Amino acid sequence: MTTRTIEIAVGIFVALGLAGLFMLAMQVSNISEYRNTDGYTVHAYFNNIGGLKVRAPVTVSGVRVGRVTAIRYDPERYQARVEMTISANHDYLPADTQASIYTAGLLGEQYIALEPGGEDDVLVHGSEIYYTQSAFVLEEIIGRIMVNMTTH
């Protein structure tokens, strides 16, 4: 085996290994989502976020426009504070936009749906979304129905 053949074989091996890594990064994982992180951040307070997770999608009419970047509990307002980053090309959302937490499918992951309002001012970096609707918690609804049925 000549040195040249060996070197070519090693070259192919290294190229294959890097191609494997590239495929794992681009095709298998979500690295493409990390690239366009430029956007503006808004926050909203929810009474109950259900099973919402960081990096959950933020959608308008079902179209994905951003994602949840941070969730923490605000001890002064006794509410959950959810921060979301919306990509910069969706800078037309009115200031009175409503944010609701919905579930994709019966057991699917939860996401935030934005419903644009009618104001002329738009959401900018650091704005708060005032109109929010908490996650749908099955036990709560069943509890309410039970109370209604027993009181009548």
Binding footprint of another protein on the chain (CB under 8 A): 3, 6-7, 9-10, 12-14, 16-21, 23-25, 27-32, 34
* Choice between 15 and 142, CB closer to another protein: 15
Strand order in the sheet with 110-115: 128-129, 39-46, 79-87, 63-74, 57-60, 110-115, 98-103, 131-133
Minimum Å distance from CB 40 to another protein?
Answer: 23
65: how many CB neighbours lie within 10 A of its CB? Answer: 19
Minimum Å distance from CB 24 to another protein?
Answer: 5
Minimum Å distance from CB 26 to another protein?
Answer: 9
Read off φ and ψ for residue 35, nearest 5 degrees. -70, -50
* Beta-strand pair 110-115/128-129: unpaired
* Choice between 14 and 70, CB closer to another protein: 14
Minimum Å distance from CB 33 to another protein?
Answer: 8
* Choice between 42 and 112, CB closer to another protein: 112
Amino acid 33 reads E
